[in-house]
Structure 1
């Protein structure tokens, strides 16, 4: 076997229903790589989905069929158990099925705030947040987040994580521009708080090294990138590399995960980033684009020194795609550095999208490093001067770069010199206005 040549294919049944065969979660555990496949919407919408065990020779075996939609994974250190999909696997590789989860779509399993040694939290795609004892494996619902947070649109909850004394969960239920009924939510053990109504995807943190918690999402303008540092949220913006990850159903699942030791990879909106898990002097460093891609990647991890990348390639989705045929996906193995040979980093986005801007109010920081050529487009509803500031050290020390004057025609552009870069860029208006600002990088 040579790197980047080993692949494992998974499939769902051809009849009676053809929907999906995504690889929802991957976890190296008990001398094997475990994988869970999913259909499009619970049992009855696809068949032949299950739990797979992959050995060190990369031979796969389906050990159980569940025919559901799950993408959760967590190692519970106190009990030495792996929770993945509707299963729990002990340290010897013995697995148990949790039948109570068959009627749910489990998207995340998280550490418990008050009893982490004996219980875990779980989140379903439909908004049920609950807890489960790690010994008796009896799930108990705690909250219906659709009702709790007053969500008006169909929920589509995804990632969740526990760190810094709170649980954070993401909902990417976004179906049309202008909607504000998806969200990012946090729970401190007593009450829920809405951080955003825009679609969000994944949440991740280490339990040490400062326990910085990261979350990803997007809105009409750009990718949203959050960092919880010492109990305080910071929000940044990143480029989008594709228009094809906007709607809830198109976003399976775009993760943040450690692949090389103590180094994060982050996949969001068609772009992989290298991410430093530590905040130095209270600031986020090391957000660097690696590549853009077309692959649907529900999960990825390291296994036996290889980079394992799940997929979701062939989806008839109950024959709404009439030329897909049998649901299939591939698990690709290569090296982490193979990502550099994928598409060159490029993208677009900005801090404002037809936004009401107040005088002297600074925008969210927007990523600037890691791209060769850069330009800025600005439109406004009145003549106005927009100031450009840069943070070239990544420490939050902002310096003036220049100005863009929007005239009576409502538009102006600025092309940055070739090779010019900084970690972050932000904008500030010299007057109240309604404006759009978009950076294009190539």
Structure 2
């Protein structure tokens, strides 16, 4: 090498060393504002989050956009720089899988190779809200399945990207020019329900879950029959397995598919108005279990509130992380009907999580944070408060043990609710393990004396032993039974000694609450109840792709609220005073505080509103919440171990269901 060449090489190396690497974005409680993603739609949810080829890949979705949208495919680098991929076509995708034979990540309509090259199946060739992928039944090395939220099914060659329609969707009528399918399906789905979620294959079947119903009643009554779990054997149409709302479908193989598809189990999770439903398929046969709900915020016969509950491998040996109805769950990796022990709650959350994964020794949750559309969220307590100017969401990075450290787990659920029960026929198994406080309420129709028998599966192997018999007289229709901590076992079930026209068995659980009563440092900046004056602000998310937050300062006293200066907050948390007086006027106009919702008397603070509008059941029409000293005392009473001072009370006399 000549001296001049050597000098050039050294100069090039020094230049490379001198180029500063991008600064790591700022972070608050696991949120990096600069990683936020936006679209121009009514919602911007996170459809999938998957590590691949030394990057984290993320897709977003808008609501009901089967022919594409302004949503993007994002590539996140190890130093947390966000790259918007130019191949993006949007839509409403939430599917993802890893195809081992071709070494590709399938995420939305994109197929990504080991060198991060992105190929795409345009929405014109494969229209639909893509919800799940599964390995092919007969040619898994070269083909995969795509399912849509309207129960459509495609077969795709992962080498050539050739698309073949197998089952046509039940809705979505394209306008001229929106589609150009080469080999469209000729039969239309007959599967009950819609709003498809999980897809998986094994034991000679493709299993599809959906969790919704298309009817006006589904928007008002969460107790109606809704959703469906279906199977496809490679020919013809879907076959209905069970008429309930289901979400995740997966197995021990996770995103790559089961290692032994003929023998490995398939899991699915769903719910009805009674409780969460967990099912496992082995040798073509399904076994059902029930779990408590941590929150009813995810209910709804329409299915819109759950988004995508998942069961995923996060690197914990022998275990998976499951999200469902407001609880993080520990889910055993070997779960089966003969080894069903190990399902336990970890902690509670109130957030819409679309997908999650482990990346760089942290957990990453893709969330559905801020939607411009209000959907069904119109209520007196919200008043005329405006929605955000633009839909947006973000990733939430946490420590690996975060699912164990959020809210104390609570759970409630039933195996029977005011329904006919045959003598001697046991209920589905209901989860018993994982909670410190446990009780069950038994109820019969009063037609005759009734004896309930409670049985325990002590090891999760399907072997049942009687734990307690509870005899009720004809005029003694209800009894509350506490379950001592000494009663061990993963599952409990009930049966009655006679045919009962209307029987109910409802469980109430709570984990140990280790929170302290002293004011934590996290809340140091918040005003105390007795403060005579407080500094606050009215907040309004701006639109027009400005990606900033309007902040209207205010001084608050018990008698009045005094408006101050207007500011703009950017993603890097720079607060800039606004000179334009119209900014303050706009924020004030769109953030009025509803009046008459919160009042107080000597006993308590009262929150009162109409719970729904129009033809809703009378028992749901008005809710009233009080927080009184008596209720706080009852929380610790043996007769009501889970009572809280904020329990809603319906003001009508209709019995709840």
Given the two structures, how large is their TM-score scaled by the length of structure 2?
A: 0.63
Q: 1:211 to 1:43 in 2, by over 3 A?
A: closer
Would you say the 8 A contact 2:67–2:127 is kept in 1?
Answer: no
Task: Identify the structure with the greater strand proportion.
Answer: 1
Aligned residue pair count:
436
Structure 1 residue 229 displacement after superposition:
2.8
**Could you tell me which residue of structure 2 aligns to residue 40 of structure 1?**
63
| CA drift at 1:104 | 1.3
Partner of 2:229: 184
- Change beyond 3 A, Cα 1:150–1:77: closer
Provide the residue aligned with 1:149 in structure 2.
190
What SS does structure 2 have at the residue aligned with 1:361?
coil
Give the CA deviation at 1:244.
Answer: 0.7
Please name the residue that 2:30 is paired with.
Answer: 5
Q: Distance in 1 between matches of 2:66 and 2:154?
A: 21
SS, match of residue 403 in structure 2: helix
- Equivalent residues of 2:274, 2:416 under 8 A apart: yes
Q: 1:62 aligns with which of 84, 88, 91?
A: 84
* Inter-partner Cα distance in structure 1 for 2:460 and 2:28: 35
Q: Output aligned runs, 1:120-135, within 5 Å.
A: 120-135=144-159
Counterpart mapping for 1:41-120 below 5 A: 41-42=64-65, 48-64=70-86, 65-100=88-123, 103-120=127-144
2:328 to 250, 272, 280: 272
Match of residue 23, structure 1, among 22, 42, 46: 46
Q: 2:425 aligned with 1:361, yes or no?
A: yes
Does 2:350 align with 1:294? Answer: yes
Please say if 1:208 is aligned against 2:233: no
User: Shift of the alpha carbon at 1:91?
Assistant: 0.9
CA–CA separation in structure 2 for the residues paired with 1:414 and 1:369 = 16
| C-alpha distance in structure 1 between counterparts of 2:99 and 2:191, whole Å | 32
Give the conservation status (yes or no) of the 8 Å contact 2:373–2:387. Answer: no
1:214-261 deviation per Cα after TM superposition (whole angstroms, max 9, x unaligned): 100001110000112343221100000111111211011111111115
Mapped partners of 1:438, 1:325: distance in 2: 43
Within 1, Cα distance between the matches of 2:285 and 2:153? Answer: 24
Matched, 1:160 2:196: no
Secondary structure of the corresponding residue to residue 339 of structure 1: helix
**C-alpha separation between the residues in 2 aligned to 1:280 and 1:198?**
21
Whole-Å separation in 1 of the counterparts to 2:28 and 2:492: 38
* TM-score for both structures, normalised by structure 1: 0.92
Q: Give the match's secondary structure for 2:354.
A: coil
Tell me the residue number matched to 2:296. 243
Any idea what SS the aligned residue of 2:297 has?
A: coil
Residue 431 of structure 2 corresponds to residue 403 of structure 1 = no
Q: 2:440 aligns with which of 372, 376, 385?
A: 376
Question: Per-residue deviation at 1:124?
Answer: 0.3
Question: Partner of 1:335 in structure 2?
Answer: 399
- Indicate yes or no: 2:481 matched with 1:414: yes
| Cα offsets for 1:180-221 (capped at 9, x unmatched) | 341111223246432211100011112238622110000111
Aligned residue in 1 for 2:453: 387
Per the TM alignment, residue 405 of structure 1 is displaced from its structure 2 partner at its CA by 2.8
Give the conservation status (yes or no) of the 8 Å contact 1:107–1:123: yes
Question: In structure 2, what is the equivalent of residue 282 of structure 1?
Answer: 338
Give the match for residue 350 of structure 1: 414
- How far 1:275 sits from its partner (Å)? 1.1
Distance 1:399 1:233 in 2: 22
Q: Report whether the alignment pairs 1:231 with 2:284.
A: yes
Deviations 1:264-306 (A, max 9, x none): 1111111111111214783323111111110111000111221
SS at match of 2:402: helix
Give the superposition deviation at 1:119: 0.9
Identify the residue that residue 638 of structure 2 maps to in structure 1: none
Alignment partners' CA distance in 2, 1:186 and 1:320: 32
Mapped to 1, the partners of 2:279 and 2:391 lie a distance apart of: 35
Q: Which runs of 5+ in 2 are unaligned?
A: 1-23, 171-187, 378-385, 511-657
Offset at residue 102 of structure 1 (A): 6.6
Q: Is the contact made by 2:191 and 2:240 (CA closer than 8 Å) also made in structure 1?
A: no
SS at match of 2:313: strand
| Structure 1 residue 145, shift from structure 2 partner | 6.6
260-269 vs 127-136, greater mean Cα deviation:
260-269
Matched residue of 2:304: which SS?
helix
Query: Take 1:102 and 1:112, find their aligned partners in 2: how far apart are those partners?
Result: 17
- Asked if 2 retains the 8 angstrom alpha-carbon contact of 1:3 and 1:334, the reply is no
Q: How far apart in 1 are the matches of 2:456 and 2:334?
A: 22
Larger radius of gyration: 2
Confirm or deny: 8 A CA contact 2:329 2:344 kept in the other structure. yes
Distance 1:319 1:263, change over 3 A: closer
Conserved? CA contact 2:38–2:393, under 8 Å:
no
Q: Displacement of 1:363 after TM fit?
A: 0.7
The alignment status of 1:257 with 2:308, answered yes or no, reads no
My pick for the range that moved more, 324-333 or 291-300, is 324-333
* Bigger relative contact order (CA 8 A; separation at least 6): 1
CA shift digits 1:83-118 (9 cap, x unpaired): 101111011100012113673110001100011111
Q: 1:145 to 1:413 in 2, by over 3 A?
A: farther
Residues 196 and 352 (structure 1 numbering): CA distance in 2 closer, same or farther, change over 3 Å? same
Deviation at 1:419, TM superposition (A): 5.3
Q: Choose the corresponding residue for 1:436, options 492, 504, 523.
A: 504
Segments of structure 1 that go 5 or more residues without pairing to the other structure are: none
Match of 2:652 in 1: none
User: Matched residues in 1 for 2:428 and 2:408: separation?
Assistant: 25
**CA distance in structure 2 between the partners assigned to 1:115 and 1:244 by the alignment:** 41
Per-residue deviation at 1:317?
Answer: 1.7
Among 345, 368, 371, which residue is 1:315 paired with?
Answer: 371
Q: What's the CA shift for 1:323?
A: 2.5
